[in-house]
Structure 1
């Protein structure tokens, strides 16, 4: 029997249950007393929350197989049963849909890419349905997975209202006010969560990556655009109107180049891929057509090309410093497809950040995490897992 969509709700969906489960999911396996400490709950509350989760197969508990006998009786650890459920995640770009099938621990089991013949919503939904079927078929035929599929997450760039499931505006898709969650749910027969792609990646980092266990951190993405996801007091910030963390449109050079948002000298107008390509074309007079060609030219040491990347790094560093000054995060995680050029602007990012960060804000840990493009789709799957586990998810 192949993995199939199934209507199932998370057992005993109370704030305490969700808190216990997410603590084990993101930081486990852990002994119950440590779960209580990290979740800020009493041991009795943890015991009450764990029992139904174990009975429903979402958690397991057993001896730590890595504990050495010389230390005494092995600790009993609570861990998530990753194979209990499956989730789908899809990142939609202007040219393709990248899909993944993950387990409950958001480990990618199957990944697929399909081109978009058209950006019109009906055509994208058709590709989405085909992608979901291919992922499910491959999961069965290749891996023999039979767990229920409990949700689908979709990540799209731009202004996305997750609560309403509506893409308000996506510049790469040229969409406005598309009720994507409703349409995709009707097409695929699954509960659907739609979110901004950078926020989705931030959820994945918060629960399953370099932000696990941190109360305050930021994710800055470098690529076609410059994005930023924010976690403040343990929650991903969406903003009152679904727009927050727009570091790409922080002005770092008032006399700089015009930005498509209408302002001048925004980080994205200097460090976005299209801006870099344009600036290298202007600096060298060469017919540079895309980011790959621009990167190759800079690596060859063509006069003017490396300087463009240096300016981009300085702009990114000043943008990150703005985030650090405003929010004081414990860590800033830099990611995105633009990190293929990291060797060309790493020093400038660090120097500009240190110069512009105020006081102790400069102590913020700046971490670089090059991630494959499938990680954007994994972020979408993470939002589906979050929606399933937490009734209070945005």
Structure 2
């Protein structure tokens, strides 16, 4: 990491409460990029006087700036362009697995500035919170001005009486944990927590291929299967944080059983463990099965073909149900789309009901595990904007 004198000495900016118009203006610039004042006013239905007041405050807060580049309006007049100042705020993103902690520091546009990961010393809530605090302190040497933190983890996270509660996280063995409150108290800054797939959906919606769409579905495949849903520009989480739990959707009533005993569901084919288990060969792990499939092993290839078909059924079903503008498939199990693209596309074509002209193919996005931690930072950014 390259440290500058400014980053080492800069004091954290004061967090003034933003008005709704200020938050809307900042979101507009974050999601849609640099715009003229006139374009922002039109999009948000603001008067010129109101926009002047709003932008003055955001500039004073160091969140936006005037661009040196001017865009010419339809009338031929140059318009002053406003843009986000990425360095205006720093955010900490954290992803927790059952045995590891991944962290990232981002700027206001969710660009990663620093990444770090280490094994979890313990699954104890107290020790995990302490470890998050220690990681923040490690990163604070270069980035002392972290404004807020976001934590993503596998499990059900819901809001109850104004607090975020991890209702259940099987990989960590947690239940009824007020993680956001505990981390906020430990770090001394606002913190938020969310299901990791919902967090990844928020990140892709604001800063990825979903930017600008009002409706989107994200399917994450890997150790598990998660579906994130965006409706009217907002991530749908559900009453108990379980929106998008479609892993037991039926694919084949005569198929194998998943770990919960359901026969022929998506979870019996698509997760990494299901693909490994299909070979019925002791000592293999996912990486080994992946290598076998890429080298042409028939059993491994069939396991991925079955997984690809299941992914296609899931994709078509959720697309039929939600009718979204964009469907994204990603995750650390994305090799399924590489090795079984034919089966994936065939299942979508068979089960997807679409009108003429509607997009049929999902957007397959490459994945790096650090994206989970970056998604945590996006949670913090959205919380900063009270979205």
Please, what TM-score do these two structures have when normalized by structure 2?
Answer: 0.90
Equivalents in 1 of 2:335, 2:172: separation in Å? 24
Kept after mapping to 2: 8 A contact 1:64/1:75: no
Match among 153, 159, 170 for residue 150 of structure 2: 153
Deviation track 1:119-145 (CA, whole Å, cap 9, x = no partner) reads 2222322321222122222xx2xxxx5
- How far apart are residue 45 of structure 1 and its match? 4.5
Deviation track 1:294-343 (CA, whole Å, cap 9, x = no partner) reads 10111121121101101101111110111111111011111110113432
Match in the other structure for 1:237: 236
Match among 336, 340, 350 for residue 345 of structure 2: 350
DSSP 3-state at the match of 1:154? strand
Instruction: Determine which structure has the larger helix proportion and give its number.
Output: 1
Deviation track 1:341-369 (CA, whole Å, cap 9, x = no partner) reads 43212222122112111132962451111
The reply to whether residue 389 of structure 1 matches residue 385 of structure 2 is: yes
Deviation track 1:177-212 (CA, whole Å, cap 9, x = no partner) reads 111112212222221100000111111111111111
Match in the other structure for 2:190: 191
Kept after mapping to 1: 8 A contact 2:37/2:79: no
Greater Cα shift, 3-12 or 176-185: 3-12
Deviation track 1:127-179 (CA, whole Å, cap 9, x = no partner) reads 21222122222xx2xxxx56x21101000101112562211111211211111
Equivalents in 2 of 1:208, 1:5: separation in Å? 27
Equivalents in 2 of 1:247, 1:5: separation in Å? 46
Structure 1: unaligned runs, 5 residues or longer? none
Kept after mapping to 2: 8 A contact 1:330/1:365: no
Equivalents in 2 of 1:181, 1:263: separation in Å? 34
Equivalents in 1 of 2:373, 2:11: separation in Å? 18
Greater Cα shift, 18-27 or 43-52: 43-52
Please, what TM-score do these two structures have when normalized by structure 1?
Answer: 0.88
Equivalents in 1 of 2:265, 2:191: separation in Å? 34
Between the two proteins, the alignment pairs up a number of residues equal to: 376
Match in the other structure for 1:301: 296
Equivalents in 2 of 1:280, 1:380: separation in Å? 35
CA root-mean-square deviation: 2.4
Match in the other structure for 2:29: 24
Match in the other structure for 2:65: 60
Kept after mapping to 1: 8 A contact 2:354/2:360: no
Greater Cα shift, 375-384 or 254-263: 254-263
Match in the other structure for 1:12: 18
